[in-house]
């Protein structure tokens, strides 16, 4: 039986890794995380866009590991906040903050905004970089920001992100449900087809 090809996921976020592993399950690739490369810290996200950050992390990963590298950057865009927190979603409340800190700040910023004006979307950009190859994919999940958290699953802003497709928050959905409609799953759908062809 031929050995599976290897793919590096250039992130230290365990929650993202779990989702990526689940979504890419069955594509025939061995997914390596950065714990396999202890001398390689995850690059900083200093780009002005999700695409810049995803490509930068994937390029650095490929250069440092020699393996085809996958990287993503994801942002929550809230219309009433002119698209914020966007590219700084993970650092919205500051550096080294918790998911809860970010959610709390978001709810404070929206405290006087009625439900009818709380439209938002998760946007995910996935980048794949390898020998002679750079490709990107984008996935979007539309929804609304609730006034208080609901649900115990998921991570990040999932407890306040109401999905009209699921009729529940991402944190109320089980992983299989979320992975049918999430921004990350949509970005990975086309990428999975590429991996199957490359295998």
Structural domains present in the chain: 5-198 (3.90.950.10)
pLDDT under 70: residue ranges of the chain: 1-3, 199
SS3 call for 94: coil
Catalytic residues: 73
User: What is the predicted pLDDT for the residue at 2?
Assistant: 47
Looking at residue 169, its pLDDT comes to 98
Q: In which element (H, E) is residue 78 found?
A: strand 69-78
- CA angle, residues 69, 85, 92, in degrees to nearest 5: 85
Which tens digit of pLDDT belongs to each residue from 43-85? 777 889 999 999 999 999 999 999 999 999 999 999 999 999 9
| pLDDT at residue number 193 | 84
Cα–Cα distance, 141 to 83 (Å, whole number): 14
- pTM assigned to the model: 0.92
Q: How many degrees, rounded to 5, is the angle at CA 192 between CA 189 and CA 197?
A: 135
Please report which residue ranges of 78-181 form alpha helices under DSSP H. 99-109, 175-181
Give pLDDT, residue 120. Answer: 98
Instruction: Give the pLDDT score at 21.
Output: 92
How many angstroms from the chain centroid is the CA of residue 169?
Answer: 16
Cβ atoms 31, 14 nearer than 8 A = no
CA angle, residues 78, 121, 148, in degrees to nearest 5: 65
Inter-residue contact 75 to 123 (CB < 8 Å): yes
Helix (H) or strand (E) holding 7: strand 5-9
């Amino acid at each position: 039986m031929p050995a599976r090809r290897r793919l590096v996921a250039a992130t230290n976020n365990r929650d993202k890794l779990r989702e990526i592993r689940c979504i890419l399950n069955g594509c025939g690739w061995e997914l390596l995380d950065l714990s396999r490369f202890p001398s390689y810290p995850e690059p900083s996200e200093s780009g002005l866009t999700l695409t810049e950050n995803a490509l930068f992390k994937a390029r650095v990963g490929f250069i440092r590991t020699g393996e085809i590298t996958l990287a993503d950057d994801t942002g929550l865009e809230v219309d009433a906040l002119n698209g914020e927190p966007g590219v700084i979603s993970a650092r919205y409340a500051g550096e080294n903050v918790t998911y809860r800190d970010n959610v709390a700040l978001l709810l404070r910023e929206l405290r006087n905004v009625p439900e009818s004006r709380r439209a938002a979307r998760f946007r995910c950009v996935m980048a794949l970089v390898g020998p002679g190859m750079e490709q990107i994919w984008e996935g979007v999940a539309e929804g609304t920001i609730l006034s208080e958290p609901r649900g115990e699953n998921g991570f990040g802003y999932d407890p306040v992100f109401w999905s009209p497709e699921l009729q529940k928050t991402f944190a109320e959905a089980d992983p299989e449900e979320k992975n049918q409609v999430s921004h990350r799953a949509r970005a990975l759908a086309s990428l999975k087809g590429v991996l199957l062809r490359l295998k």
